[in-house]
Amino acid sequence: MRNTLVRKKVKRFLVSSCTVIAILLLLFVPFTPKNAVRLSILENLHPFAAVFAFPSKMAKKDSTGYSGKHIAAYYSVLVQVGSDMGGFDTYVIGVKEKKSGEMFYRAELAYDPA
C-alpha cells in the first residue's frame, strides 16, 4: 500500500514537471515574433510581465516614430517593461525579421522618442 502511494506521488510529480516544461517551451522559445517579445521581456528580468504581456502587432502608421527604415515589426504589450540596464520604460518592443538561415526571431525594447 505504501509503495503504490509513493508511485502515485512520483508519477504526479513527473507529469506536472513535464507540463510546466512544455508550457515554458511553448511560451518562450522564439519561433514566433510574439514568443520573441516574451523572451525579450524575460531577459529584462520581468518574469511575470513576460507571461501576462499579450503582445499585439502595431500598425505601420503607429510605429513610424520608432524606426524610419522599418527594419523591425513593432509589438505593443499590456504591461510596462523597464530596461534591465536602466534608463527607460516602454510598452513597445521591436522584433527584427529573420535572416536566411536563422532559426529564431530577435526582439529588443524600443525607446520611445516622444
pLDDT value for 85: 76
pLDDT exceeds cutoff 80 at 80: yes
Q: In which band, very low, low, confident or very high, does the pLDDT at 68 lie, cut at 50, 70 and 90?
A: low
32-55 pLDDT, tens digit per residue, is 999 999 999 999 988 899 989 999
Residue 66 has pLDDT above 90, yes or no: no
Ranking 22-31, 42-51, 59-68 by mean pLDDT, the lowest is 59-68
pTM of model > 0.85 = no
Q: Which residues contact 11 (CB under 8 A, 6 or more apart)?
A: none
